Amino acid sequence: KAGVTQTPRYLIKTRGQQVTLSCSPISGHRSVSWYQQTPGQGLQFLFEYFSETQRNKGNFPGRFSGRQFSNSRSEMNVSTLELGDSALYLCASSSSGANYNEQFFGPGTRLTVL
Amino acid sequence: AQSVTQLDSHVSVSEGTPVLLRCNYSSSYSPSLFWYVQHPNKGLQLLLKYTSAATLVKGINGFEAEFKKSETSFHLTKPSAHMSDAAEYFCVVSVEDSSYKLIFGSGTRLLVRP
C-alpha cells in the first residue's frame, strides 16, 4: 500500500497570505489528523476528520481550518499567515478497525512564513 | 488528562552500547502508548505500541519497551545502538475518547558516536 502523501513538501509564503495543504491518506483509512511541529512547541494536535466530519480540534485559533472529502483526502487551510505559523505540518491517517489509534504519518509540509 | 514526559532531551551513546530512552506517562485509565521515531527531514515512523496485551512490547529495528503501571513508565530500550538509530524519538499517549488524538512528549534526540 502507498503511504500517506502530503503536498506540497515545501512552501514559502508571506505574512497575511493564506495557504492550503493537502493530505492523501493510506487507501482504506477514513481518519485523517493534522499536527503542527515547531522547535518551541513540539508536536501539537490541530484537528481530526472522519467521514468528512471534524471530530476533534486542538487549541489553535480559527485561522486554522480543515476539511475532508468523500475519498478521505483532507486539506488544511491557514488564513492570514503569521510568522509563528512557520512549522512542519504533519498529516496522519488511521483505520477504523482494532488498530484505530495507530496513526501513520506523511513526510510533512514545511511551511515558511516570511 | 493524559500526558507524557520524556525525561531526557538528549541521549548520547557509543555504537554497539545499549540505548535507554525514558518516558513517564499520566493517565486516569489504562492508556495506549507508542514510540515514534523521526529522522532528519522525515515524517514520523511508528516503532512500537502498547495496548494492554503484553507489558513487554517488541518493535521494529530491535527496539522494545516495557509498560510498568506501578512506575507509570514506558521506557524504550535497544541492546546495541547502530549509527542509523540517530534520530529524535517521541513517546506518545493516545486520548481514549475515540477522537484518535495523540499527545506527544517533547522528544529525545539520540546521538550515536562511532
Cβ atoms of B7 and B105 closer than 8 Å: no
Query: Does residue A100 come out as left (phi exceeding 0), alpha (psi in the -120 to 50 range) or beta?
Result: alpha
Which residues from B are below 8 Å from A92, CB to CB? 44, 102
| pLDDT in the model for residue A98 | 62
- Residue B98 confidence (pLDDT) above 60: no
| pLDDT in the model for residue B97 | 62
| pLDDT in the model for residue B96 | 66
Average pLDDT over residues A46-63: 92
CB–CB contact B100 A100 (8 Å): yes
| DSSP state string for B37-79 | EE-TT--EEEEEEE-SS-SEEE-GGG-EEEEETTTTEEEEEES
Cα separation, B79 vs B95, in Å, equals 30
B52 inside 8 A of chain A by CB: no
| pLDDT in the model for residue A96 | 73
Cα separation, A96 vs A100, in Å, equals 5
Mean residue pLDDT of chain B comes to 91
Asked which of A37-41, B87-91, B92-96 is least confident by mean pLDDT, the reply is B92-96
A58 inside 8 A of chain B by CB: yes
Q: What is the pLDDT of residues B3-13, one digit of tens each?
A: 899 999 999 99
The whole-angstrom distance between B63's CA and the closest CA on chain A is 17
| pLDDT in the model for residue B32 | 86
Asked which of A41-45, A94-98, B13-17, B53-57 is least confident by mean pLDDT, the reply is A94-98
Residue B31: which pLDDT band, with cuts at 50, 70 and 90? confident
| pLDDT in the model for residue A97 | 67
| pLDDT in the model for residue A112 | 97
- Residue B62 confidence (pLDDT) above 90: yes
State phi, psi for A13 to the nearest 5 degrees.
Answer: -130, 170
The count of other CB atoms within 10 Å of the CB of residue B53 is 7
Residue B59: which pLDDT band, with cuts at 50, 70 and 90? very high
